[in-house]
Structure 1
Amino acid sequence: MLLHGCGAITPAPPVARAADAGPELPARTGHVVDEADVLTAEQAQALSHRLAEAEARTHHQVVVVTVCGFDGETIGGYSRWLANAWGIGRKFYNDGVVILVAPVQRQVRIEVGFGLEKALTDAEAVMILYRDVIPRFRAGDWNGGIDAAVTSILREIS
C-alpha cells in the first residue's frame, strides 16, 4: 500500500549532508508529526492536544511521529537519533517517549528515555505494540493503533 504522504507521486530529492550528520529528520512541529500522512488533521490535532495536556500534568513528554523511511538507518537507530536530536523529555531527567510509525516499512517502535524505563519497561513497550497497536494497524486503523499506544503509555507513566 502506497500512502499519499510517502511520495506516491515522486520522492523528494536527497539532501546532501556530512557523513556523520545522522539521518535526515522531519521538522518538529509539535507533539504529533505526521510525515506519512496517516492521520486526518482533526485526529492529529486531537492527539496533539491530549499529549500536551498529559505533559502539563505529568511533565513527561510523549511525541508521535510517522515517517516514510529511516534514511538508511534501522528503526531503532532512527528513533534514538530523533529523540536525542529533538530533545524529547526533560534534559536532566531523560523522560521522553517517542512513538515512531513507518507504515511503508510496516514498522513501529516505542522509544523510551532512560528516566522512564522503570515506569515503562522495554517488555511493556513491546506488549503495548503487540496487544494494542499492531492488530489495529493490520486492520488499516492507523489512528486507532496510535491512540491505543498513547492510552497505554500514558497509563504506565502517569
Structure 2
Amino acid sequence: MSVKTVSLWIFLFFTVSVSAETPIPSAPTRWATDTAGFLSPQTVSTLDAQLEAYERATGHQILVYIGATTEGVPIEDWAVRAFEAWKVGRKGIDDGLVLFIMAQDRRLRIEVGYGLETQMTDAIASRIIDEIMVPRIRTGNPDDAVTAGIAAITGVL
C-alpha cells in the first residue's frame, strides 16, 4: 500500500470520527430557534409566527436554526446530519427546508428536502445567501438578513 493510500485512509478515518462525535442538538420545537443570540427576540418571534402560518398554508415545513458553532465540522456535513435527525418535512413528501446559521463560525447553509429540490436548487440557495443575506449581515443587520432570506425562500417555493 502506498504512502498516499495510507494517508488518505487516516484522513478519512479522522474526518468521519470527528463528524460522528459532534453532537446534533435535539429537534427544535419551534419554527425559529436562535441559541446564539444572533437575532432580536422580536425577530425570532415574528419569524416563528410567519413560518408556522406558511406551513399551515402550504404544508412545507421551513425552519430557521441559529447556533454558535459546528465545532470544526463543515456546515454542509453538520446540516445534513441535523436535517436527517430532525426529520424536517412531511414523511413521504420530504418537503422540508432549514436555514442554518452558525454565528460564531460565520457560516450559512440552506438544506433542502428532496421534495423541494426542483424549486430550491443549490444555485438558488447560494444566491439567496450570497446576494441577499450576507450583504445585510456585513452591514450589521442580521434581523433584516434572515427576514429577507426567508422572504426570498418562500417566494421561490
Cα distance change, pair 19–110 in 1 and its aligned pair in 2 (3 A): closer
8 Å contact kept, 2:70–2:105? no
Find the counterpart in structure 2 of residue 51 from structure 1: 51
Distance, in Å, in 1 between the alignment partners of 2:86 and 2:103 is 21
Distance, in Å, in 2 between the alignment partners of 1:86 and 1:94 is 12
The two structures have a TM-score, normalised by structure 1, of 0.83
What is the SS of the residue equivalent to 2:38? Answer: coil
Q: Tell whether 2:103 aligns with 1:106.
A: no
Distance, in Å, in 1 between the alignment partners of 2:79 and 2:25 is 12
Cα distance change, pair 104–54 in 1 and its aligned pair in 2 (3 A): same
The two structures have a TM-score, normalised by structure 2, of 0.83
Whose Rg is larger? 2
The amino acid of 1:130's aligned partner reads D
Amino-acid identity (%): 31
What is the SS of the residue equivalent to 1:150? Answer: helix
- Kindly report structure 1 stretches of 4+ aligned residues shifted beyond 2 Å: 18-23
Q: Structure 1: where are the runs of 5+ without partners?
A: 1-17
Distance, in Å, in 2 between the alignment partners of 1:65 and 1:93 is 21
Find the counterpart in structure 1 of residue 41 from structure 2: 41
Q: List per-residue Cα deviations over 1:23-58 (Å, max 9, x = no partner).
A: 322341310110111112211111000000001111
What is the SS of the residue equivalent to 2:33? Answer: strand
The amino acid of 1:139's aligned partner reads T
Distance, in Å, in 1 between the alignment partners of 2:124 and 2:83 is 19
The structure that is helix-richer by fraction is 2
